[in-house]
Amino acid sequence: NAGVTQTPKFQVLKTGQSMTLQCAQDMNHNSMYWYRQDPGMGLRLIYYSASEGTTDKGEVPNGYNVSRLNKREFSLRLESAAPSQTSVYFCASSGATLSGNTIYFGEGSWLTVV
Amino acid sequence: GQQLNQSPQSMFIQEGEDVSMNCTSSSIFNTWLWYKQEPGEGPVLLIALYKAGELTSNGRLTAQFGITRKDSFLNISASIPSDVGIYFCAGQRRGTYKYIFGTGTRLKVLA
């Protein structure tokens, strides 16, 4: 009953450090997403991958890179972390049901950049 | 980026009361989704709607896909303390991979 699994749960980085957030889904979904959630801002899309082998920018892609490693895994990399990237990050995957599409979220990764 | 207009932003209610919240958009959607998020957790899917006018229940929760396809409603009946959390709506337009999210309704239930 894993669904969408993301690691790490918590991370503290120093400004300028790099790190990768890992995400895997076991629902055989084609599409995967990375969002950030900040107080009062709702969920903002960073990058998404409509299908294996493709990635596209969302509304706040600056400072991030992504890799769709295979159908299951979609990672988010911060090359040089900045305090403005302090946020909660959610990975999600989307697939079709008999009725239509649905998106499911991981439990979140709390990132603090000092 | 685009966000859905979700109201109210917050609600303080007494246990046992019914709750109503809604989301509106300037665009037509073919999918409306409702989520609940508790502190320290990710959003959890409550109800999915795929047809205009559709009314779907999940226990004490009932959601409707608006006839105009530009809005959706969530009702919670006989609220209990564990209903506390943030409720989000999300919409998806036909032929796109992106989902648009509301800014959330923060619900607090007073016992």
Q: Which residues of B touch A48 (CB under 8 A)?
A: 97-98
Predicted pLDDT at A98: 80
**Number of CB pairs < 8 Å for A and B?**
57
Cα separation, B34 vs A73, whole angstroms: 25
Residue of A nearest to B103 (CA): A42
Q: How far is B32 from chain A (nearest CA, A)?
A: 9
Contact across the interface for A31 and B103, Cβ inside 8 Å: no
Contact across the interface for B101 and A50, Cβ inside 8 Å: no
Which of B33, B48, B101 comes nearest A42 by C-beta? B101
Phi first, then psi, for residue A5 (nearest 5°) are -120, 125
Per-residue pLDDT of chain B (111 residues; tens, 9 = 90+): 677 899 999 999 999 999 999 999 999 999 999 999 999 999 999 999 999 999 999 999 999 999 999 999 999 999 999 999 999 999 999 889 899 999 899 999 988
Is B7 within 8 Å of chain A by CB? no
Predicted pLDDT at A87: 97
Q: How far is A39 from chain B (nearest CA, A)?
A: 10
- Tell me the three state secondary structure of residue A84: helix
Which of A42, A97, A107 comes nearest B104 by C-beta? A42
Predicted pLDDT at A54: 95
| pLDDT beneath 70: ranges in chain A | 1
Predicted pLDDT at A1: 59
Q: How far is B17 from chain A (nearest CA, A)?
A: 26
> Tokens 């990635």 map to which residue?
A55
Predicted pLDDT at B28: 94
In SS3 terms, chain B reads as CCCEEEECCEEEEECCCCEEEEEECCCCCCEEEEEEECCCCCCEEEEEECCCCCEEEECCEEEEECCCCCEEEEEECCCCHHHCEEEEEEEECCCCCCCEEECCEEEEEEC
Predicted pLDDT at A39: 83
Residue of B nearest to A44 (CA): B1
Q: Which residues of B touch A10 (CB under 8 A)?
A: none
Q: Six-digit token pair at B43?
A: 């959003």
